[in-house]
Amino acid sequence: MDIDRSMIGLSSKPYTAVAEQEKARRFAEAIGDPNPLYEDESYAGQTVYGETTVPPTFLIALGNNAELPIRLDVRRMLHGEQAFIYHRPVRFGEKLVCTMSVADIYEKEGKSGAMQFLVLDTEMTDENGQLVAVSKNTIVYRPAKKPEKGGERN
């Protein structure tokens, strides 16, 4: 399926993700970030955060369980860009209600032709409905391969 601007505004059903400290610790280890802010309470208590918090890019691990009401061909998808907008730090054990939506769709001309870009925003709110963070993901959606002229090759 190709994508088009009529899909802008489509959203997933909300789902809950928990900011688990052990998962965040393993995430920080996997990306090579040894910052004690993620697991040392005494260190974190002396920072502006006042307590331990998740690594800034950890939200990618929480915001990927959405099911949009469109079917995309994952073989045509390429991760283009990721950004995170924090309204406050995420605390361990916190339950975040996440909703992904199609924020934008646009095209650009590349060396091999037109490329489509799909911008997905995942809003994360706390249990009181207050916005905590937004994960912005831009996907390059490659054009479908056209069948070769003359049928199959041997």
The model's confidence at residue 69, banded by pLDDT at 50, 70 and 90, is confident
Residue 40 counted as domain residue = no
Checking if the pLDDT of 100 tops 70, the result is: yes
For residue 29, the model assigns a pLDDT of: 94
45 domain residue, yes or no? no
Residue 63 domain-assigned? Answer: yes
CA distance 20 to 38: 11
Asked if the structure places residue 100 within a domain, the reply is yes
Lowest-pLDDT range, 13-22, 41-50, 70-79?
Answer: 70-79
What is the model's pLDDT at position 104? 96
Residue whose tokens read 């809950």: 16
Confirm whether 46 is domain-assigned: no
% residues pLDDT > 70 (the chain): 94
Residue 59: inside a domain, yes or no?
yes
Q: Tell me what the pLDDT averaged over the chain comes to.
A: 89
pTM, whole model, 2 decimals? 0.84
| CATH number of residue 65's parent domain | 3.10.129.10
Range of the domain at 117: 5-20+53-141
Residue 134 placed within a domain: yes
With respect to residue 32, please indicate whether it lies within any of the assigned structural domains.
no
Number of folded domains that form the chain: 1
